[in-house]
Amino acid sequence: MAQPAALRRVTISGVPGIPRILCSVLLVAVVAGACSSPAPTGATATTTSSAAGATTGVPPNGDFAARVPVAGRQVYLECHGSGRPTVVLQTGYGNAGDIWSTATAHLPAVAPGLAATNRVCVYDRPGTTLSLDDAGNPLPTAQPGRSDQVPMPRTATAVVTEWHDLLATAGVPGPYLFVGHSIGGLFTVLYARVYPDQVAGMVLVDATPPAFASLLPPKSLTLLEASLKAPSSIPGYPYEGYDLDDILRSIDAAPAWRPAPSTLLFAGQPQRVSDPAAQEFLKDVAVVQDQARAQLAASIPGATTSVVSDATHYIHVERPDAVIEAVRAVAGKVQ
Q: How far is CA 189 from CA 90, 128, 186, 202, 205, in A?
A: 11, 20, 5, 8, 12
Q: Which domain does 223 fall in, by range?
A: 7-331
Position 59 in a domain: yes
52 lies in a domain? yes
The Cα 246–Cα 230 span in angstroms is: 17
Tell me whether residue 320 is in a domain: yes
Q: Is 2 a member of any domain?
A: no
1 part of a folded domain: no
CATH number of the domain encompassing residue 39: 3.40.50.1820
- Domain membership of residue 282 (yes or no) is yes
Among 87, 76, 65, which Cα is nearest to 176's? Answer: 87
Rounded to the nearest 10 degrees, how much is the dihedral formed by the CA atoms of 190, 194, 196, 202?
-10
Predicted TM-score (pTM) of the model is 0.86
Is residue 237, in this structure, part of any structural domain at all? yes
Burial pattern 228-257, b for ≥16 Cβ within 10 A else e, equals: bbbebbeeeebbbbbbbebbbebbeebeeb
CA–CA distance, 67 with 176 (Å, rounded to integer)? 20
Degrees to nearest 5, angle at CA 95 with 92 and 97: 100
Please check whether residue 328 is in contact with residue 285, taking contact to mean a CB–CB distance below 8 angstroms.
Answer: no
SS3 21: coil
Amino acid at 59: P
Contacts of 97 (CB under 8 A, 6+ apart): 76, 78, 89, 91, 122, 123, 124, 128, 145
Residue-wise pLDDT tens for the chain (335 aa)? 222 222 223 233 333 333 333 333 333 333 222 233 333 434 333 333 333 444 556 777 889 999 999 999 999 999 999 999 999 999 999 999 999 999 999 999 999 999 999 999 999 999 999 988 888 888 998 899 999 999 999 999 999 999 999 999 999 999 999 999 999 999 999 999 999 999 999 999 999 999 999 999 999 999 999 999 999 999 999 999 999 999 999 999 999 999 999 999 999 999 888 888 888 998 999 999 999 999 999 999 999 999 999 999 999 999 999 999 999 999 999 96
Number of domains in the chain: 1
Beta bridge partners of 15: 12
